[in-house]
Chains A and B, each alone.
Chain A
Amino acid sequence: MDTSRIQLAHGGGGQLTAELIRDVILPALGGGQDPHALADAAVLETGGGRLAFTTDMYVVQPLEFPGGDIGKLAVCGTINDLAVCGAKPLALSMGLVLQEGLEIDLLQRVLDSAGRQARQAGIRVVTGDTKVVERSALDGIIVNTSGVGLIGADVRLGFDRIQSGDRVVLSGPLGEHGLAVMSQRKGLSFTADLVSDCAPLHELVSDLLDELGENLRFMRDPTRSGLAAVLADIAESRGVDIEIEESAIPAHRTARSAAEMLGLDLLQVANEGKLVAVVAEGAARRAVDVMRRHAIGSRAAVIGTIGPAGESPIVELATAAGGRRIVQMPYGEELPRIC
C-alpha cells in the first residue's frame, strides 16, 4: 500500500482517518497530539458583544505559488474578511476536501503553512472536517475556512457612513496575488520577482480602528475582481460618484507589465493582503501614516475622493496619461482559479 498518498479510506471515518488527523492535521493546526484538540464543535467564550461570522472556499491552482499556498491563503482570507468588518478575529475552522491520490507531503506542507500563519496571527483553528473524493471529482485540495470575530461596541462601519468628500486610501501595491498565480500558470518568466501579497490585515486594521475611530467609515479587502469591484460596489450601494487618480495608485513595475501582457486591467486583478479604506477627509493623512507603520502597508496612499451623490453613479479614473475613463465591476471573464 502506498502510504505517501491520500486514499479514499482516509475520508471514511475509520482508523485511517484517525491516523491522518493524529499524524498530519493536528501537528500542523492543533495543539500537539490531543485528539480532542480539533473537536467537531468548539466552545468559545465571547464575553457578550456583536459577533462577526464568515465563511470562504479556496480552490486556487496551483496549490503552492510564489509567496503562499492554499493553506496560508485560506487562513489570511478568512482573517481579512473578519478584519474588514471591524471584528477582532477569535477562531477559525478548517474543512478539507482531498483528492484521492494526493501526496501526503504536499498536504503536510499546506497545513503546516496554514498552522504557521494562524499562530503568527495569534488565532486558533478550533474545529474542522476532512473528506476524500475520487480522482475524477477533484484536482488537488479544496479548503473551506470559517471564522468568528468580535466587533467592539464603538465600531461603526458601513456604506451608509460614507460621505461626499471622504477619501479613499489603499494600503499597498495592486495585483500581486492574482498576477503571481496567473503568471506561474502561464509560465511567464519575467515575473520571477512577483510574489503573492497574501497576508493577514487584522493588526493593521486594529490600529486604524483605534486611531481613527469615527473617522474610519468603511473597509474592504479587494480580492476577486480587485479594486474595481470594491469601488463599483461603493458607488452603487451608496449612490455616489468616486474619482480615483491612476498615478496615485501604488503598483509594482513588474505587476504593471504582467497585467499589460495578459491583457488585464490592474484595477480588476485580485489581491489577498490589501485594504481599501474610506476615511474622513481630515483623517486621510493619519490613515496613511498608521498603515505605513506596518510592513504590509509601507506603500499606503490616498488614491481618490468620494464625490457627490447622483442617480447613476460612476467611478471615474483620471489616467496617468491625463485622460479620463470609467471603472466598472468586471463582467466575469474566463479567469483562472486564483483564490
Chain B
Amino acid sequence: MTTGCTDICEKIHASALRLARDMGGVQIMEVCGTHTMAIARGGLRTILQPADIRLVSGPGCPVCVTDQSYIDRAVGLARNRPDIIVATYGDMVRVPGRQGSLSEARAVGARVEVVYSIQQALDLARQHADHEVVFLGVGFETTAPGTALAVRDARQEGLRNFSVLTAHKWVLPAMNALLAGGDVKIDAFLCPGHVSVILGYGAYDQIVRDYGRPCVVAGFDPQQVLLGVLEILDELSAGEPRAMTVYPSVSREGNARAREVLDEVFEIVDAPWRALGVIPASGMALRDEWAEFDAERRFDLPAEESYEMPGCRCGDVICGRLHPSECPLFARRCTVRDPVGPCMVSSEGACAAAFKYEMPARKR
C-alpha cells in the first residue's frame, strides 16, 4: 500500500465511524466514467464499504447515458446509406439497438470507422471526398469542445462532406434531476476532473446552495478519489457542504475560452437521457448557423422513440438505484463478451467495471 493512501484511509475510517453513527452510512455518487474505473481498479469499495461508505456510479459514462433512440439513428445511417462513413469512438460500436449494433452493421458491409479523436474523422472526410463522413458526437463538456473546434475547422477548410450527429450533454442538469427526483440517496457528489476543468468547480455552487450536498472535484488515480472522499466526509462532519476541488488542475472559474467555443457552435436544448427522460436544457445542438454540419438536418433523420432493451437495468444503474451485481442479467446473460446494455459495453461503464474487477461475493 502506498504511504499516501494508508494515511488517507486511516483518516477516512476515523471520520466515517463518527458519521455512521449520525447518518447511518454515507452514499457518495461519482459522475465520471474515469472515476468508475479508478474505483474498480483500485479496489476502493473494499476499503470503504467496511466503513459504511458506499460509492455509487451516476450518469457519468457518455455511452451509458445516451438514449437508445440515438443508437438506432446511428445504426440506421450506417446500414441504409452506402455513401456514409460513420466515424465513432470505439465504445459506441458494440452498443446494441433494435437493428443491432454498429459493429453488426459493419459486419454486413456498412462503413463504420473507430477513431481516437475527431481530428481523425476530419481526416477521413478529407481522404474520402466521394463519401459523407458522419461523426458521432457523444460525451460531456470534455469532448464537446473538440467537436465544436472540428466543425469550425471543417467550415474554414471548406469540407463539404463532414457532419456531426450530436448527443453532447451537460452533466449538471442530470445531477440536479437526480436530486430533484429524490428517490436515490445521494449524500455528496464526487465531481469529474475533466468536465470540471472546463466548467470550474464554482459551477457546483448551485447544487450546494439548493440541495446542501458537498460537491468535491477529484482527479483520476485512486489516491485522488480517496482524497475527495476524505474531503466529503470532513464537510459532512462539519455540516458545511462546499463546492471545491482536491485536484489542482481545476480552478473555480474553469476554462472560459472552451465554454466560448461551445457557445459559438452549440445552443442549449432539452435532451433525452437514458432512464432520466428528457431533461430541460441538458443537451447541445448545433446552432442554425452551423446547420450544414448537423447530420440530423443534413440527412433529414426521422425522430426515433426512446426505449430500454428488454430486461436491461442500465437505467437504474446510472441513476445509482442499483449496483451492477444486483441486476438479474449481470454476469449471466450480460457479460463483457456478450453485453446486453451500454453499461457493460462501455470501457467506462459501471457494469463493465464491476464485471472485470470486483471481487466475487464469496470472497468479499
Contacts and interface: CB of A to CB of B under 8 A. Distances in A.
Chain B interface residue bracket vs A: 20 to 34
Interface string A28-63: 000000000000000000000000000000000000
Interface in B90-146: 90, 93, 114, 116
A14 interface: no
Nearest to B10: A322
A190 interface: no
A164 interface: no
Given A317-B43, A334-B114, A322 B359 contact: no
Interface stretch (B153-161, B221-229, B302-310, B315-323): B221-229
B336 interface: yes
A260 B222 contact: no
Interface residues of A, number: 23
Interface in B303-350: 335-337, 347-348
B360 interface: yes
B223 A321 contact: yes
A323 B356 contact: no
A231 to B, nearest CB: 14
Contacts of B1: 247, 318, 320-322
Interface string A316-339: 111111111110100111100000
B347 A325 contact: no
Most B Cβ at <10 Å: residue of A263, A323, A325, A333: A323
Contacts of A265: 41
Nearest to B91: A263
A333 to B, nearest CB: 7
A104 to B, nearest CB: 27
Contacts of A320: 1-2, 5, 42, 222
A325 B358 CA distance: 5
Contact of B90 (A312, A316, A317, A334): A334
Contact of A323 (B43, B337, B348): B43
The 5 closest A-B pairs by CB, nearest first: A323-B43, A321-B222, A325-B43, A322-B1, A321-B42
7 contacts: A312-B360, A314-B363, A316-B359, A321-B9, A321-B222, A321-B226, A334-B90
Interface of A: 186, 247, 260, 263, 265, 312, 314, 316-326, 328, 331-334
Given A260-B220, A260-B221, A331-B335, 20 more contacts: A186-B116, A247-B2, A263-B37, A314-B363, A319-B222, A320-B222, A321-B5, A321-B9, A321-B43, A321-B222, A321-B223, A322-B6, A323-B45, A323-B222, A324-B43, A325-B42, A325-B359, A328-B356, A331-B336, A333-B347
